[in-house]
Structure 1
């Protein structure tokens, strides 16, 4: 716990004595510089913003230079600028320590972690790098097509392509349609889609691949 009536320096010195750290004041100085607390070391903890209090909590975990640091939901309740600052601190910590980040904020995982472990009902269902996890979960490709065409006619034509597993119209605006197409694994459907649209006398305005988000991967893994 943080002690609100202590200054940052007093608190970190207290934690150092509790942990019987022999690393001295220079160690505290290095921690404060690393987590960007240097400018507030003389201030009472109760007068700090929530973002700075989060950093004080991270700083006390670093006292004694442990090889492993566990952070539980370190950005909960912070404003966007504080979240960016805290994530930057976590990335720096990862260069010197093993940082275990426990969080349900998947955008945070994606931005700071180089290894992801997904737990479902107490079991590990995935243990990979973000890139490996995305590749493992890939089951075909999702393409997003934007075209100017009659919805029913184009949907029927796309559904008839042997490379395409499913078709859904996901947006309609100003005479343009957006279709999401799932293709079969190992099938490159782009040429077939182009030929389909142009062969029907319609206009293709765009075709792009849609990556599977970490949220999609998490939901898939935890629903198995």
Structure 2
């Protein structure tokens, strides 16, 4: 069993479950310098990640196991278990009972998400649904990246339509015409620059735009 002393209170993130979602989350946090501890019960996954992540083998559906891990020392816990619904609910409930300040939980369906919310998860994420929605936007138009923030407000990366090419943002007047905002422009070989009315757009540029998803969809569909 791989083990590590838990961080001091509120100093780290506890990631429970090292499937695709949990392992990606944990490795990214670790790479960013966050104090992270992964928890997994499966022998195969423990063998796969030992030496690559700070981790401990334990059954997080057992509240005593969580207490022994020092779950009270963590400010954030993420439940990466999704397909095993009973385990997901039990683990989330245990974290609620142990009064973890911030609990994030993965859900595989709307019904699953509602249960997690009802028992006390502070944030519920739908990685497969979110990824499917994002890819649908990307394959259906000129968008190169797509992030829906909240309530339809979206940020996208895209190529400029022809009517913008060769003109400044003031001249093309995109915000008045289409209701979207150009946040910045990335030209080849040049650092990203926040947009101003004097920013001139070329055909090789990338735009970072924000606005309602429907407006951005229509704008990105322009030739």
Greater helix share, 1 or 2?
Answer: 1
TM-score (norm 2): 0.34
- The structure that has the greater radius of gyration is 1
TM-score (norm 1): 0.34
